Amino acid sequence: MGQPVRDYLLTLCVTAAVTYLLTGPVRKFAIAAGAMPEIRARDVHREPTPRLGGIAMFFGLCAGLLVASHLENLSSVFDLSNEPRALLSGAALIWLIGVLDDKFEIDALIKLGAQMIAAGVMVMQGLTILWLPIPGVGTVALTQWQGTLLTVALVVITINAVNFVDGLDGLASGMTCIAAGAFFLYAYRIWFGYTIEAAAPATLFAVLLIGMCLGFLPHNMHPARIFMGDSGSMLIGLILAASAISITGQVDPDALKIFEGSTREATHAALPVFIPLVLPLTIIAIPVADLILAIVRRTWHGQSPFAADRGHLHHRLLEIGHSHSRAVLIMYFWSALIAFGTLAYSVHSASMWIVLLIVVLSAAGLVLLLLPRFTPQAPRWAESFVPPRYRRHRFAATEPAAGSPAASAAPVEERTPVPAGVNGATAIGHRSRFTDRRKAGTPS
């Protein structure tokens, strides 16, 4: 089992490295191409930032697929299944539409149609839902039309859910990376734990998605130097949906009856076996909730469901007082809690400790959510490892007390008020000239 893990790690590292190394040149290309839209009313950032980060992510995906196709333990995925080719075809189409949108602002209905076409391309090549394991019923086989409609719906919903949550620096890539990590652990367990090879494509897709997000995150963390744009958000949304479709609709539940008895008993007793019905929903629970709330909110106010606004969950976190970084971390926390909590419960469904731990972590998350202005202070020994805003003792030691000789001896330019309407750069020049006049004895 060690060799497959090394192959997956190599694929992940290659995907992340290619994405990371290409993002810098892509940023220069986006600036030269003019893919830097003006600041909109709903935007959080204050300076024009280039888009088209999805270009680097797509080439990272291609590099990961190329490497995986030549590895001993992963090449069988390409030999026995057409799903990697189906994924690449759909990804290339949705990526191209995203690149055009990042540059020319394509209409929302055209993008929706392109998403449906990309999903249809994958369905035509075999990446579709064939059956559903339903608790209490067993395995329900789907007709061709049912499977196609369900597959297209899942792809479109996931793409738009990820696209909607892409509103803060590092938010969409980080949340998708967390979701892909949980999905990889589950798919890997199904493949090598239950020796079901049909889970191999989903495992590979999850690893590729982790690598793409990890490679892009260093460039996208606050303050972001580049945005992934629709070319990136729609791409990672499609790959996440493809992973869910592959393991939900392609893994035959009947193959697991040797572990749990009959199919009906397996459905009741083996939550780890049928968790793919639930795990894809829990992984995108927060983005989907944001999507549903946005549609309801806009429709209620008589707006188009595709009209952009500042009512998303991350916007609300900023409005109640959370900083940009803290809002992102809170969204990370809830995504990880839901995804990995479901995964842990699927492994040890009979353990009450899992439930208690999830409850405790949920309570801690609510406390952090409701106390936006609470800033924890690090202990003295840890001050050198945390950002300056968490260092209580350093400020207390370096700032002179009011009225002390040290305070009165402070430089003149530090105590001179800045005239109203003067920006930072002008203020520095104003204070310097004022100090020079004082030193020369010239009246101000």
pLDDT at 318: 67
210 occurs within a structural domain:
yes
Enclosing domain of residue 39: 2-318
Question: Can you tell me the mean pLDDT for 69-92?
Answer: 93
335 occurs within a structural domain:
no
390 occurs within a structural domain:
no
From 318, 351, 378, the end of a domain falls on 318
Instruction: Identify the residue with better confidence: 102 or 387.
Output: 102
Number of domains making up the chain = 2
Task: Mark whether 305 and 180 lie in a shared domain.
Answer: yes
Task: Mark whether 433 and 298 lie in a shared domain.
Answer: no
Task: Mark whether 313 and 430 lie in a shared domain.
Answer: no
Three-class HEC string of the chain: CHHHHHHHHHHHHHHHHHHHHHHHHHHHHHHHHCCCCCCCCCCCCCCCCCCCCHHHHHHHHHHHHHHHCCCCCCHHHHHHCCHHHHHHHHHHHHHHHHHHHHHHCCCHHHHHHHHHHHHHHHHHCCCCCCEEEECCCEEEECCHHHHHHHHHHHHHHHHHHHHHHCCCCCHHHHHHHHHHHHHHHHHHHHHHHCCCHHHHHHHHHHHHHHHHHHHHHHHHCCCCCCCCHHHHHHHHHHHHHHHHHHHHHCCCHHHHHHHHCCHHHHHHHCHHHHHHHCHHHHHCHHHHHHHHHHHHHHHHCCCCCCCCCCCCHHHHHHHCCCCHHHHHHHHHHHHHHHHHHHHHHHHCCCCHHHHHHHHHHHHHHHHHHHCCCCCCCCCHHHHHHCCHHHCHHHHHHHCCCCCCHHHHCCCHHHHCCCCCCCCHHHHHHHHHHHHHHHHHCCCC
Question: Can you tell me the mean pLDDT for 195-220?
Answer: 92
264 occurs within a structural domain:
yes
The per-residue pLDDT for range 405-423, each reduced to its tens digit, is 444 444 443 334 444 444 4
Give the whole-number percent of the chain exceeding pLDDT 70.
Answer: 65
pLDDT at 345: 77
Task: Mark whether 14 and 120 lie in a shared domain.
Answer: yes
Task: Mark whether 211 and 99 lie in a shared domain.
Answer: yes
Task: Mark whether 310 and 422 lie in a shared domain.
Answer: no
As annotated, the binding site for Mg(2+) includes 163, 230
From 318, 345, 360, the end of a domain falls on 318
330 occurs within a structural domain:
no
Res. 424: pLDDT tops 50: no
344 occurs within a structural domain:
no
From 291, 318, 345, the end of a domain falls on 318
11 occurs within a structural domain:
yes
Split at pLDDT 50, 70, 90, the class of 329 is: confident
As annotated, the binding site includes 163, 230
Res. 387: pLDDT tops 80: no
The per-residue pLDDT for range 171-190, each reduced to its tens digit, is 889 989 998 998 898 888 88
Asked if residue 223 has a cis previous peptide bond (ω within 30° of 0), the answer is yes
The per-residue pLDDT for range 390-404, each reduced to its tens digit, is 566 544 444 444 444
- Total-model pTM: 0.74
198 occurs within a structural domain:
yes
The residue written with tokens 């629709």 in the block is 230
